[in-house]
Structure 1
Amino acid sequence: MTRQIKNIKTIFAISGLFLMLFSGVLLIEFGIIAFIFLFFITIFFIKGALSSGWMRNEPITRQPVRGANISGVGLVGKHSTASMTTRLVMNPIDETQYPITGRLEMTFREACLFNWPFPNISISDEWMVTDDSGKDISDVLLKHFDGIAWIKVKKRL
């Protein structure tokens, strides 16, 4: 997507400046042109970094992350071509929402086991993931459920 300049005066001013530069009417030394070029490149990168959101603390979205790293190794790991998604699972013990991330074809059980986020529930306990109504969705694919799930330990039911 290209950025459009809406002000016609700006377009004519910029094109007139370039025309004078290339025709030789406006004589500027090469060092000044190089400095102006590097200055605008620097501004371009700073503006891109600030507008990309890397400095903001963004909330978790339900948008799938394309080509995310499944191995968890970081940039060294092998990237997947599968889509990744994040779902929120509420832990009723400490009343905290934990994000679980996995491929769209993973079940809630597989996504929880992939990276266990619950500090006060043992992974070896008997547990299940439920929806708001209490229906067991442990074997439901992540792509088929779009809401906040709950994890429940069976001995505490």
Structure 2
Amino acid sequence: MTSSVERVIELMQTTFGPASKTGTFRTYYNGDPEVIPAFNLPCAIVTQTSDNTVEGAMGEDDVTDEIRIKLVFDKRDDYTGKIDPLNLTEKRLRDLVGARGEDFKYKPGTVKKMLREALLDGVTAVAPTIRVEYGVNPRETLKDSGNVAWTSEAWITFSIQSFAYTND
């Protein structure tokens, strides 16, 4: 069985396209590398922050994985080149996370639509609560601790509930 993190990465690649220089994300990471080369921005990072296992029905465990998706954009995009003050990185992140249409439905190509629709197959429950945090973070760039890239980030935290058999 694919891990929860791998499954989310696969769904993100289906939703946002494969990693590429011209796509939504240049790189997908399984785990936070902490140091991200500027040429890999924007990127998506998927981590598992916790695992809560509770004895369930006979021969089963109920498992809740807490997953965090980090969408990371280069903050320099907000102050270099042609700048649209109404479409800064923070707004682009908010739209990518949960933009809604006139009908109040999540738009295709958003993290929340992906979580609510595509992640349900094969699990007990997904994301009864989705917590999103936005902010600006300093990240060291590769091989240069004095060169810090400022990033606009969205951290989306949610849980996936499933079960595991405990005996053969």
Normalised TM-score (structure 2): 0.21
Between structure 1 and structure 2, the one with the greater Rg is 1
Relative contact order, higher structure (CA 8 A, sep 6+): 2
More strand by share: 2
More helix by share: 1
